[in-house]
Amino acid sequence: MADPIERPDHAFPEAQREGLYRAIFERRDVRAQFRSDPIPPEVLARLLEAAHHAPSVGFMQPWDFLLIDDRAVRSRVHAIFERENAKAAEAHSGERGVLYRRLKLEGILESPLNLCITCDRSRGGEHVLGRQSIVEMDLFSTCLAVQNLWLAARAEGIGVGWVSILDQDELAEVLGLPESVYPLAYLCLGYVDEFLDRPELARAGWRQRLPLAERVHGNGWGQAADAPALFEALSARESER
């Protein structure tokens, strides 16, 4: 095997790399502590542009961005959340049920802006390059747009919360979506008082981050990977966090 490259030609300078990883590790799902300050148009433009530069199957770019600041529309979406969340809560009994009901799982009315990122399943026609065998590739592409926006927002000091406790048909109706358009991500955006150092669900004792080394396999599911140096590096990184 060739020696590892010390400084790859096209790597970003260290400070820029650090910035990117910082956005990745310090991004949080935000549901509370939104400030009411509006997001300036030029900042929102940067976030949308970041989303629009996501990779997409066959360069399909199946997304659209619905900016929802109208109180009446948001109240209707919030009512959908309340109904769906009451149903979801019933799935958990005992202590788990008590904990579930304590969790804050949306910021629809408190955040200054709601944004629905949709996926037009018909964009690009019937034969989108790379989507012939796996038709869900348009949905996966749109998720990448969401993640781009989420990371860019963190770098801008803007919190984003994804609300999925919603009936998608009712949501599509409230937003007047055409038949082929799927409401993929309903997001709450705004400046925040703080970004938590750990996921809210971890802090609340709902679920913890899984040890990464246990999730790395060899040449087949459940097979040990013959990569001692990788595992050493993983455990060194894990103990740093």
Ligand X SMILES: Cc1cc2c(cc1C)N(C[C@H](O)[C@H](O)[C@H](O)COP(=O)(O)O)c1[nH]c(=O)[nH]c(=O)c1N2
Residues that bind ligand X (CB under 6 A): 28-29, 31, 105-106, 162-165, 199, 201
Nearer to ligand X, 43 or 196 (CB): 196
Nearer to ligand X, 43 or 165 (CB): 165
Nearer to ligand X, 127 or 207 (CB): 207
Q: Provide the minimum distance between the beta carbon of 117 and ligand X in the complex, in angstroms, as a whole number.
A: 11
Nearer to ligand X, 53 or 209 (CB): 209
Residue nearest to ligand X (CB): 199
Nearer to ligand X, 58 or 121 (CB): 121
**213 touches 238 (CB < 8 A):** yes
Q: What's CA 155's distance to the chain center, in Å?
A: 14
Which own/partner contact pairs does 130-133 have at CB distance under 8 Å and 24+ positions apart? 130/57, 130/58, 131/57, 131/58, 131/60
Helices (H), 53-199: 71-90, 94-102, 137-155, 168-174
CA dist 29 → 47, 62, 90, 199 (Å): 16, 24, 23, 7
Q: Provide the minimum distance between the beta carbon of 31 and ligand X in the complex, in angstroms, as a whole number.
A: 5
Q: Provide the minimum distance between the beta carbon of 154 and ligand X in the complex, in angstroms, as a whole number.
A: 10
Q: Provide the minimum distance between the beta carbon of 163 and ligand X in the complex, in angstroms, as a whole number.
A: 5
Q: Provide the minimum distance between the beta carbon of 105 and ligand X in the complex, in angstroms, as a whole number.
A: 4
In which order are the strands placed within the sheet that holds 113-120? 63-68, 113-120, 181-191, 158-163
